[in-house]
A and B are shown apart, each in its own frame.
Chain A
Amino acid sequence: MGTTQRMCKLIAGAVAVAWAGLAVADETCNSPYTTRLIKGQEDYVHVWTLGIAGMGDGSDKLVTIGANPKAKDYGKVVHTLSVGGRGEAHHMGFTDDRKHLWAGGLDDSKIHVFDVGTDPAKPKLVRTITDLPQKTGFVGPHTFYALPGRMMIQALSNTKDHGGVTGIAVYNNRGEFVAKHDMPAGEVGGAKGDGYGYDLAINPAKNVLLTSSFTGWNNYMMDMGKMVADPEAMKRFGTTMAAWDLKAMQPKQVMSVPGAPLEIRWSLNPKDNWAVTATALTSKLWLVKPDGKGGWQAKDVATIGDPAKIPLPVDISISADGKGLWVNTFMDGMTRYFDLSNPEAPKEVYTKKTGKQVNMVSQSWDGKRVYITSSLLANWDKKGDDNEQFLRAFHWDGKELKPAFEVDFAKEKLGRAHHMKFSAKPGAKT
């Protein structure tokens, strides 16, 4: 049985269970194949943190913070786990059984696998996967997306020239390489792919995988001031999304989405068949929906802040009912809430400055808690006093973000706070 056939079987067998299982999920940006989900209050927030030379041990680390207001450790750092070196810690993803958290380094391309199932208060590093560049020619593992028994990894760059041409790698849960898939670089379904990658997200019911496109190592590792002044560098950002046949892992359609489309969020409402993304450079929300001809279309449906000022929308977090979307804009430090009741015309209904720089935003499944971190990339973060590093937790009552707690990552000499994932104690509400 070939790789594609095996993937077909695995995916097909899990579609119904996984999609139905979403109704009890905790976070709203996990793979639909993730099981053992938290039904209520999360106990911990794990923050994948970039090391800063001269701050503490200077190492990338997984920082675990108490998040249950009924616990003594609420709002406190309960554990740190340094992995050694600064590999540009960036994103994480749970395995399908939620026992392990895979965390990648965009620079050194290492993938650290943490056991968070045995004792989420004390994650353990159980494996470091180092063969991604050698097996695939890709570097910069970004998105970790659980499949049944496997992990799909969207990379950002390549070993050849550190540009943006890259692909998707598939590993099994034992950390063994299974397959690679190049991003579409030629004309596919009416538009030309740029070969770039960023995020991926699956709609199992429609057998579709959506991918977006960012930029290569040269740019994401470069000082942002140097980059914006370099016209050659600025030409190297993604301008496309692609719709793939998931089971066959074949790109079927490339869609023009200029301005670096980043995070992809499918509506979690089982009745919906659309996804949204934000273009970082052009500051727009895009809707991806069926085109009525058996394919997909991407359309620009809203602006985010004043695009002329390049607010740089980065992370987005969709509500469980698909009716609302949090958007963080890095440059102005704003956290924005868009009413998605009509996904064809999202409206910004709430805006709050939550930091001097903000990047990731994650909300609980019930939408009552919103967590924000500060770091975008080591060499893109602001300088001087604007370089705040934090995790900030808020309560959301539908009208106002109210501070719950904050961890100052600079004061605690931890580093740059980036991606977050929630966990709960074994047997507690899972």
Chain B
Amino acid sequence: MRGPARLLAFIALAGGALAAPPPVSAGGPARANGVPATLGLPAMEVPADNPVTPAKVALGRKLFVDRRLSPNGTMSCAMCHVPEQGFTAHELATSVGIEGRSVRRNAPTVLNVAWQRRLFHDGREVSLEDQVWGPLLAVNEMGNPSIGYVLERIAALPDYRGLFEAAFAGRGPSSARVGAALASYQRTLVAADSRFDRWRYGGDTSALNAVEKAGFEFFTGKGRCAACHRVGERDALFTDHAFHNTGVGWRRTFGAPERTRVELAPGVHAELDRRTVESFSEPPAKDVGRYEITLDPKDRWAYKTPSLRNVALTAPYMHDGSLRTLEAVVEFYDRGGVDNPDRSALVAPLGLTATERAALVAFLRTLTGRSVDALAADARGAATAAGR
């Protein structure tokens, strides 16, 4: 039985490499100066039947970056959740899977994914242990034909010999244990203790400058951002774990442009008409958001509220990657999103001034966690060690 429990063990970052768990503390591992590395986050809930251990984390990290886990050896989790790109992908609005197949949504960051109550933009999965099989088996992501295919493949790789057995009390690869290992690794991708956290939760009044503090006021006040991206008194996940229609998805369904402006080279553009673009395009995949899971019409084109932690590192934005900058995101919400019959009542024109918008963006840039670079280096180290 998988029951939530307080994080009993955690993996500390030491010199860019994951080390053995440190002594347990209620707030997570301690940095050298005694300040919790998870400052600003609530305690992590870990399934009782999958405690985080160094062996599972190391195995999960190896699996995460291993391109051999796709049939043609091209895709790993890390090819869309690129460690150096905030564990997402900066170069693509929506992901590209095996053999170049189109994925209809933007790759969300997996930083702090342990605190997500529902996974995927439409929330169709509820546990990290189970979620990992979605991309592994999706025909347009990693494209494996079956669970058994993946397990046989892992079992046949000499460099995995003994790793599952060491992590799981003598037991070899199984669907549950692949999920447990990958989930354990992802639970170490903790990136908090940002400047914002040190200001709000750490008592460091100088951690934010005046503009950034003003931005926070707009975030919780006139900007109404915190209505969905919630900030608590003792911690902040910057999400309400709910699903909202901002109009982005609706526009994608009903607002196909007649002309597409294409950047051919820096500063050089051309326009293509829709017929020309369609001549070399596969038909765009339909996407109705959360409705596809609930079949409740009020969920049409609604998508999960993402956390804003590390948001400066996770462009492009929205579930379809259609907004490239934080400035564009703030302008989008200032306009009230895109009007449509199911638009969330929480999304409405804000009437922000240019100064207020700039302050909001400045505030959002304070949410970058302290450990991000170390986490990226740690993941890349595993990839290099595997020669992949």
Contact = CB atoms under 8 A, between A and B. Distances in A.
A12 B116 CA distance: 62
Contacts of B89: 161, 218
Contacts of B73: 108-109, 133
A232 B93 contact: yes
A85 B72 contact: yes
B262 A310 contact: yes
B102 A228 contact: no
Contacts of B316: 232
Q: Pick the most buried of B67, B94, B278, B280: most chain A CB atoms within 10 A of its CB.
A: B280
A221 B260 contact: no
A217 B281 CA distance: 18
A162 interface: yes
B265 A239 contact: yes
A231 B90 CA distance: 11
Interface stretch (B79-87, B118-126, B335-343): B79-87
A279 B67 CA distance: 32
B170 interface: no
Interface string B120-164: 000000000000000000000000000000000000000000000
B100 interface: yes
Given A86-B99, A160-B84, A231-B324, A218 B92 contact: yes
Interface in B354-388: 380, 383, 387-388
Interface size class for chain A?
Answer: 35 or more
A222 B324 contact: no
Contacts of B282: 223, 225-226, 379, 383
B74 A163 contact: no
A237 interface: yes
Nearest to B85: A161
B169 interface: no
Given A86-B99, A160-B82, A161-B85, A223 B92 contact: no
Contact of A230 (B72, B93, B266): B93
A310 to B, nearest CB: 5
A161 B79 CA distance: 6
Interface string B85-112: 1000111111010011010000000000
B264 A383 contact: no
B84 A161 contact: yes
Nearest to A163: B91
Interface in B269-289: 270, 272, 276-282, 284
A235 interface: yes
A384 B92 CA distance: 26
Given A85-B72, A162-B79, A236-B91, A225 B280 contact: yes
Contacts of B100: 88, 107, 220-223, 378-379
A229 interface: yes
A100 interface: no
Given A159-B388, A232-B93, A382-B279, A308 B79 contact: no
A231 B67 CA distance: 27
B92 A310 contact: no
A310 B264 contact: yes
Contacts of A156: none
A225 B268 contact: no
A186 B93 CA distance: 27
Interface size class for chain B?
Answer: 35 or more
A324 B272 CA distance: 31
B54 interface: no
Interface string A251-294: 00000001110000000000000000001011000000000000
Interface in A71-97: 85-88
Contact of B264 (A107, A133, A259, A380): A259
Nearest to B261: A231
B91 A224 contact: no
B275 to A, nearest CB: 11
Given A87-B72, A236-B91, A222 B281 contact: no
Contacts of B99: 86, 88, 107, 221, 378
A235 B321 CA distance: 15
Contacts of B82: 160-161
Given A134-B387, A218-B91, A228 B277 contact: yes
B265 A222 contact: no
A139 B74 CA distance: 9
Nearest to A87: B72
A219 to B, nearest CB: 8
A107 to B, nearest CB: 6
A69 interface: no
Nearest to B386: A134
B233 interface: no
B296 interface: no
B91 A226 contact: no
A187 interface: no
A228 B262 contact: yes
Contacts of A230: 92-94, 321
Contacts of B258: none
Contact of B281 (A225, A239, A279, A307): A225
Contacts of B324: 231-232
Given A159-B388, A232-B321, 11 more contacts: A161-B91, A163-B91, A217-B74, A226-B102, A230-B321, A232-B90, A234-B263, A237-B265, A259-B265, A310-B270, A384-B279
Query: Which 9 residue pairs across A and B have the least CB separation, nearest first?
Result: A225-B281, A221-B100, A258-B265, A281-B264, A259-B265, A134-B387, A379-B100, A230-B93, A234-B263
26 contacts: A86-B72, A107-B74, A108-B72, A109-B73, A133-B388, A139-B74, A161-B91, A162-B96, A218-B96, A221-B100, A222-B100, A226-B284, A229-B277, A232-B321, A233-B91, A237-B265, A258-B265, A281-B265, A282-B264, A307-B270, A310-B262, A378-B99, A379-B100, A379-B282, A381-B280, A384-B279
Interface of A: 85-88, 107-109, 133-134, 139, 159-163, 216-218, 220-226, 228-237, 239, 258-260, 279, 281-282, 307-310, 331, 378-384, 386
